[in-house]
Amino acid sequence: MQGRIHSLESFGTVDGPGIRFVVFFQGCPMRCQYCHNPDTWKVDAGTLMSADEILKQYERNKEFYGNGGITATGGEPLLQMPFLIELFREAKKRGIHTCLDTSGITYREIKDQEFQELFQYTDLVMLDIKCADPIGHKELTANPIEPVIGFMHAL
């Protein structure tokens, strides 16, 4: 299985605790007015990579990640749920701390079982609530807040 990856950052310090290997997933359904990664929006762009390829790059500098781990961010990692689950499952097999940085926008109750599987392999979720007010959220992101709230309750 392969995922569409925008880029990799080998020494992230703001994407979770410690020093992190940051995986920027390609694709995002949000259109946030203040997005700092609009180049991640297109779902059909990026580089196809396997979980093993990503983790091999992590392994090159693993000595530096002792108090950190790997963070999936984007774009929106949840758009590539099967690949994200595989990446985190393989990371956990190697004893790597996993962090998900997400807006939660793709959550649907009908897919709760898939989300629960992901949560088994996720050590930390940084839920990026763009605006707590439903009207403000829609204005800022062009998306409703209800999926985000659903994701929060699923956690």
Alpha carbon 4 to its chain's center: 12
Q: Helices (H) and strands (E) in the chain — how many of each?
A: 5, 6
* CA 25 – CA 8 distance, rounded (Å): 9
**pTM of the full predicted structure?**
0.94
- Which residue in the block uniquely carries the two structure tokens 């999936």? 72
- 3-state secondary structure (DSSP) of residue 56: helix
Q: What count of Cα atoms within 13 Å lies in the side-chain half-sphere of residue 42?
A: 6
* CA 2 – CA 51 distance, rounded (Å): 7
- What is the per-residue pLDDT across 127-152, written as a single tens digit (0 to 9) for each? 999 999 999 999 999 999 999 999 99
Residue 134 phi, psi dihedral angles, 5° rounding: -55, -40
Judged on CB neighbours under 10 Å (0-12, 13-18, 19+), 1 is exposed
- What is the per-residue pLDDT across 68-116, written as a single tens digit (0 to 9) for each? 999 999 999 999 999 999 999 999 999 999 999 999 999 999 999 999 9
